[in-house]
Amino acid sequence: MVGLVLVSHSRNLAESLIALIQQVSSQDIPIASAAGVGADHEEFGTDAFEIAEAIQSVYSDDGVLVLMDLGSAVLSAEMAMEFLPQEMQSNINIRFCAAPLVEGAISAGVQIGLGSDLPTVCREAQQALGPKIEQLAGSEELATDERPPAQTEEPETAPKTADTAKQKLIVTINNRYGLHARPAARFVQTALAFDADIQVSKLASEAEAPPDGQPHVVSGPISVTSLNSLIMLGVMQGDRIIVTAQGQEARQALDALNRLIAENFGEAAPALADVSAESPAPVEEESRSADANMPLSEGIAIGPGVYYEHAPLEIPDHDIDDPQQEWQRLQHALTQTKHAIEQRKQQMQAQAGSSNAALFDAYLLTLGDSALLDDVRTQIFEQSLNAAAAWQKGIQNLVASYQTLSDAYLRQRATDVRDVGNEVLTALLGDRPTAAFTCAEPSVLITQELTPTFIAQLDPAQVCGIITRQGSPTDHSSILARALGIPVLLVPSCEIPPNTRIAIDGFTGQIWIDPSSQILDKLQQRQTVWTRHRTQLLAVSHEPAVTTDGQRVKIAANAGSVVDAKLAIQHGAEAIGVLRTEFLYLTRNTPPSETEQVEILTHIGEIMGDRPVYVRTLDVGGDKTISYLDLPEEHNPFLGMRSIRLSLRTPKIFQAQLRAILRAGVTSDLRVMFPMISTVDDIIQALHCLEEAHRALKQDGIPHRWPLHTAMMVETPAAALLTSAFVPYVDYFSIGTNDLIQYTFAAERGNPHLLDYHDGLHPAILHLIHHVVEVAHQHGKQVGVCGELAGESRAVPILAGMGVDELSLNPGTIPQVKAIIRTLEFASTVHLAQQARQTTRASEARCLADTFFNALNLPAPLTMRTS
């Protein structure tokens, strides 16, 4: 967190200002003052030595911002640099800012509390006087010669913090539906990664532009710190926008955004698994009129109609006396909701792929939307509303803004805003999140409105179809329903008695209430035809993946829930290669009990039958945090206390998980896999903990599986290079390519500056994988790959050619990967892998893969990048 130092001639002024900052900041921030001189600091003046001490007291790698009141304070601050340790004197992360002391300090305190970086904090402090200037400049009561200047020059002694030249980019948006939630989220994520002040405006079309040819702004500019403001510009396919950037990384930011737009925001054509089957001929008889109905998701569903309505939230209407406490309550609720959404995103990614899960990125950005939070802060601090009422009002205002948009597709975003808003309200009110919908038999759910959060919680085996009174084929709920294979029908008005058997046609919009046996027969025949088309892709997925010359590659699934395990079986998985156990720990205030873990792991084991299940122990830290673990604040959590390191330091939680795995393994083939192993000591300590759990269970006479098959994740170059040292300790190696790439190239995942480094076909990565396989095979051990690379079509022949024994991927990708392997000749893939390892660039390896695919006359390979 950035530190803040206030340099003032008056101790009373500085102390009062600190108290004011602590009231408006969202959390405690590192702040110090150097104010006054003399024995009790009662005399006016500044002391360079005390300024140096203040800087050191709040110093961190995040930087320090120093604000000063009068001219001599600037001189004292400059002199203070000479009293700092040598390593600090040349540090660019200590900045002197010419902002006004009071306004600048308050703005800086707010930004620091929000977690902003030093350039942002400095920029906001410098701009803090703007609102006052704007208001007073328009006042007739203020004499012209008494008005403050509109702009204050920085003293030449203050370090320059940014390039003042404004850069601009004019570009046309070509993707379907324009800047809707998912591409807008990627736009904001990319922009915020750079040290630049970025604004976006929508331009008139070239035909509507003025005769002088100059760009004409029709809406904006807006700051990219607000996702919702960006979406509400209403930028559609074919519209032009102008992006302006000012700051140290302005040009790099515009280049990255230009690439993002040129790549169509990563939106691709539907994958093989998304291709719809040919619609069978409709059933003409006895259906209710379909004129007003609309199919939202294809398919045919037959079952009892079950009503479901979301329980309304009761918002308290009392005013508050302590706005700071209410703001803290809101921050806690936002954090809790963030963790829940992150878990849901991971679940949807496993079930429906990355593109469908990406819509939850927009949810996460809404939680930090600057315009929304400013509105809510005003309601709390100025209107004295309680946190729940203020948040609800902010969400209502945002929803109203969306509903005024002219484009119907963008108006649908209001549902998503309400959805994420209700999640935060649920957390604020202390209510338990709505439990997943369940029913006694596969049923047709009838509801007023669908939300992405609700759809993401549904089990397709429980809900065979949905009737909703509101919705659209292009809203996010319908998109997720299609990804999950659940037929959905929009029926604006239709009275259906509860538990009456109904049938819906997601192709034609027809609905039958208590259909006759003849209609049911026809529908079931029609459903059979549709299912046959749809399942042809899945039919052979249950057969082994064997090359034309007899080399078998096992295909497993990545899973993170009970539903994922069911999908794994449906798509032909031969094992669960990675069972992510984080879903047991997230979105709760206490760790799961041993009994709870045993029940869920046993259920997953029962679903998988005799197929192996590699249960990965808790893998948090880095990008996944848990509130009750009280993780230390780290400058780089990806290199800190995460995964196995954290488990070894929380023995109570670790023992409960290991005992649960051992106990659940009695009835199924559960195996344990330790993540983020980097040294031999790591694996020895982990195995010692496992043996300790075994001894305790044995002593208590509790049945459990022993000995247990053990595995380790290979996610660091250290683990890969020392494979021979790990061989005596584990039975299986699983290469996690996502982290292996990150740590090999020291390139943070998700950083838009470093995307070129994140390519799993880089020869450096291929050499590491080959080394692990070669050494493991020499000792009779098998190796799997479980990162995104395992499901990438171009990578599959190369991985197979290196002798990888098992690929673990998202369930929906299994049929396609198995089909690819069945067309390969293993001898040819060995030669391909050798050639790929001999390259010096990832682009060269990918060129070889393309040539290989073209020679086999296969469909164009996926171009998914590891991320």
Task: Please enumerate in sequence order all residues whose Cβ is within 8 A of that of 353, keeping only pairs 6 or more positions apart, or say none.
Answer: 271, 273, 483, 810, 812, 813
Which residue carries 């003042």 as its tokens?
Answer: 164
Q: What is the mean pLDDT of each run of 10 residues along the chain (867 residues)?
A: 89 83 71 81 77 86 87 74 72 81 83 80 77 50 34 33 68 78 78 87 72 70 79 81 88 86 61 39 48 73 83 79 87 86 74 64 78 86 88 84 57 76 86 62 83 78 85 70 80 77 82 85 77 67 91 92 82 93 73 91 94 94 62 72 89 96 96 96 96 96 96 96 96 94 84 74 96 97 91 90 94 84 93 95 89 64 27
Q: Report how far apart the first and last C-alpha atoms of the chain are (Å, whole number).
A: 27
Distance CA 275, CA 812 (A): 12
Q: Give strand pairing partners of 465.
A: 444
Please check whether residue 496 is in contact with residue 512, taking contact to mean a CB–CB distance below 8 angstroms: no
Task: Set out the domains of the chain in order of their start, with CATH numbers.
Answer: 3-137 (3.40.50.510), 166-266 (3.30.1340.10), 287-310+435-534 (3.50.30.10), 323-428 (1.10.274.10), 552-809 (3.20.20.60)
Q: Which amino acid is at 443?
A: S
Cα separation, 99 vs 161, whole angstroms: 13
Q: Which residues pair with 241 in a beta bridge?
A: 171, 202
Among residues 344, 598, 544, the alpha carbon closest in space to that of 458 is found at: 344
Rg of the chain (C-alpha set): 30
pTM, 2 dp = 0.50
Report DSSP state, residue 82: G
The phi, psi pair for 686, rounded to 5°, reads -65, -45
Determine the 3-state secondary structure of 572 from DSSP. coil
What is the C-alpha separation between 476 and 457, in angstroms, rounded? 14
CA 476 and chain centroid, separation: 16
Half-sphere exposure of 344 (CA within 13 A, CB side): 27
Q: Are 252 and 190 in contact (CB under 8 A)?
A: no
The whole-angstrom separation of Cα 30 and Cα 46 is 21
- CA dihedral sign, ordered 155, 160, 163, 166: negative
**DSSP letter, residue 307:** E
Q: Quick check: helix, strand or coil at residue 172?
A: strand
738 is written with which tokens? 């996502």
CB atoms within 10 A of CB 364: 17
Please identify which residue in the block is written with the tokens 């379909």: 290
Cα dihedral 821, 827, 833, 836 sign: negative
DSSP, res 684: H
The catalytic residues are 476, 786
Longest dimension (CA), the chain: 99
Separation of alpha carbons 255 and 198, rounded Å: 12
Backbone angles phi, psi at 849, to 5 degrees: -65, -40
DSSP state of 621: B
Q: Which residue(s) pair with 304 in the sheet?
A: 501
Task: Report DSSP letters for 486-552, one per residue.
Answer: --EEE-SS----TT-EEEEETTT--EEES--HHHHHHHHHHHHHHHHHHHHHHHGGGS--B-TTS-B
Report which of 330, 317, 345, 361 is spatially closest to residue 425, judged by C-alpha positions. 330
Task: Please state, in angstroms and rounded to a whole number, the distance separating the CA atoms of residues 595 and 601.
Answer: 10
Sheet holding 3-8, edge to edge: 31-35, 3-8, 64-68, 94-97
* In the block, residue with structure tokens 């200047």: 149
- Alpha carbon distance 303, 647 (integer Å): 46
At 153 the pLDDT is: 32
Closest Cα partner for 319 from 379, 397, 396, 392?
A: 379
DSSP letter assigned to residue 866: P
Neighbours of 215 (CB within 10 A): 15
Rounded Cα distance, 244 and 168, in Å: 4
Which three-class secondary structure state does DSSP give residue 88? helix
